[in-house]
Structure 1
Amino acid sequence: MDLRPTSELAEAAADLHGEPDVESTVQSVLEYAKALTGGDGVAVMFRQAGRPAVMSATSPEAAEADLVQIRCAEGPGLQAMCAGDAVLVDDVAADARWSSWSRPVSELGFQSVLSLGLGTHRSSIGALSVYSSKTHAFAAERAELARLYARHASVALVSARHESGLRQAMQARHTIGQAQGVLMERYGIDAEQAFAILRNSARDHGVKLSERAEQIVASRPADVG
């Protein structure tokens, strides 16, 4: 993917919004970030249950560089995630801000990093980090372009996660309704009673309501309890 600065930014944004799911959106975010910045590796972290986790990367080295941040609890990606803005490291080996992080990242072959916060005005969802084998790899114009791109990427990722969540919620609601129907027919009870049985059964089995509903829909009568 060979992109010229600014002229392809709108096309990148449109493509990101056209992806069918979160996984595809993440991969496109990585590919476009690498093309727009000229970086050697890109990784993306998301917040999961309040903790950062590496979701994907363009190379094992980029993934490891992000994992180093998580293990050391310091680094430009984590700072960008908290600040919701860009954090630039022109020379990893000479940067004194994150002493525990800089050496292992240098050993991975990366000499400069541009980390971009991902999220909305309401919340942060993660960070996108672009790694380069050269020092001072990200000129001011390139960094500004990356900031603009990060905004588009954030909207696309939030939208994809929202759509994915809605689809999962709709599917879970449908499955719960099916399970209620099975229980109503099986025991000659009404919908409210069927839901109470389903809820109690989920608690007894130590699973989510939707998971127990799936089990009941697929089970034989003797398996329910």
Structure 2
Amino acid sequence: METDANDGRPVMFTTEREARIAQVVIDLVHRPADFDPLELLHDLTARAVELLPVRGASITVLDDGRVSYITASDEVCRELTENQVDLYEGPCIDSARTRKPLEPAALDERWPRFAPYAHEAGISAMAAVSLRLPQTLLGALNLFMTHLPCMGGPDLQLAQTLADTTGLTLAHRHELADKNTVLAQLQTALDSRLTIEQAKGMLAGRFGIDMDEAFARLRNHARYQQRKLSDVAAQVARGDVPDAFRPAR
């Protein structure tokens, strides 16, 4: 910060990262009226990876009192989140279950059954922030890191801001949706993720690509066609693969 020579007022300079943060917040807020909640939540994980010093991110939600995986930035984080759900142990479980954020923590002492899975994937620490509506906790944004120390207070505040922005977008879908409406939307997203996994597997097997690439192709096609990701995935899972997915000859 410098002082303006004319009137002594401070001159603020915006960094490239600050400008990108502002753009990400706008992107998370500005959605069409019929947006796909699952796509919004996936965007949250992708933007967290883009802006924070983390290896990956995932979303867990409270579903009838149980913690459920809903989406992740990549296959590694998806598998590690599902490992925690299966074991019912890990930072993703604790953060959603206790309804509290989790500061960066090493894994071995607190989650000894989950820790070996994480270490095998190169993850040595995790953190989480709350995903919530103004009056209701939905779940958590989970952050995967390769080393400690890894994130400071400002990074966690940014993660919480991204999660809060996403929660507000969910809450204001079709103006002011009530709690039950938003939870119904999340249930639809939970159901859709299974179809998306089937579609990813079909594309991966047919075209010899990995699951992350398969998801990217689904996502890109949905955006190009201006369709919901879940609708495109359902089409592919039925075996109706559009020509756009086929490799060029």
Within 5 A, what are the aligned runs for 1:64-213? 64-93=79-108, 96-160=109-173, 162=177, 165=181
Relative to 1, partners in 2 of residues 1:47 and 1:159: Cα closer, same or farther, differing over 3 Å? farther
Match of 1:62 in 2: 77
Task: Report the RMSD for the aligned CA atoms in angstroms.
Answer: 2.9
**Which one-letter code corresponds to 2:21 in the other structure?**
L
Match of 1:21 in 2: 36
**2:23 is aligned with 1:11:** yes
**Which one-letter code corresponds to 2:84 in the other structure?**
Q
The higher radius of gyration belongs to 1
**8 Å CA contact retained: 1:52, 1:70:** yes
**Which one-letter code corresponds to 1:128 in the other structure?**
L
Q: Structure 2: any 5+ residue segments left out of the alignment?
A: 1-14, 186-249
Relative to 1, partners in 2 of residues 1:52 and 1:82: Cα closer, same or farther, differing over 3 Å? closer
State the SS of the aligned residue for 2:113.
helix
- In proportion to residue count, which structure has more helix? 1
Deviation at 1:29, TM superposition (A): 0.8
**2:52 is aligned with 1:52:** no
- Distance, in Å, in 1 between the alignment partners of 2:89 and 2:135 is 23
**Which one-letter code corresponds to 2:91 in the other structure?**
P
**2:10 is aligned with 1:32:** no
TM-score normalised by L of structure 2: 0.57
Relative to 1, partners in 2 of residues 1:24 and 1:102: Cα closer, same or farther, differing over 3 Å? same
Query: CA-to-partner distance for each residue in 1:102-153, whole Å, 9 max, x for gaps?
Result: 2222222211212112113532211111112223221232122212222212
Relative to 1, partners in 2 of residues 1:12 and 1:118: Cα closer, same or farther, differing over 3 Å? same
Q: Structure 1: any 5+ residue segments left out of the alignment?
A: 170-225
What is the total number of aligned residue pairs between the two structures? 164
Query: CA-to-partner distance for each residue in 1:13-55, whole Å, 9 max, x for gaps?
Result: 2211223221221121111111121311111112223322211
Relative to 1, partners in 2 of residues 1:107 and 1:79: Cα closer, same or farther, differing over 3 Å? same
**8 Å CA contact retained: 1:65, 1:105:** yes
Match of 1:43 in 2: 58
Tell me which stretches of 4 or more aligned residues in structure 1 moved more than 6 Å. Answer: none
**8 Å CA contact retained: 1:41, 1:59:** yes
- Report the identity percentage: 16
**Which one-letter code corresponds to 2:25 in the other structure?**
A
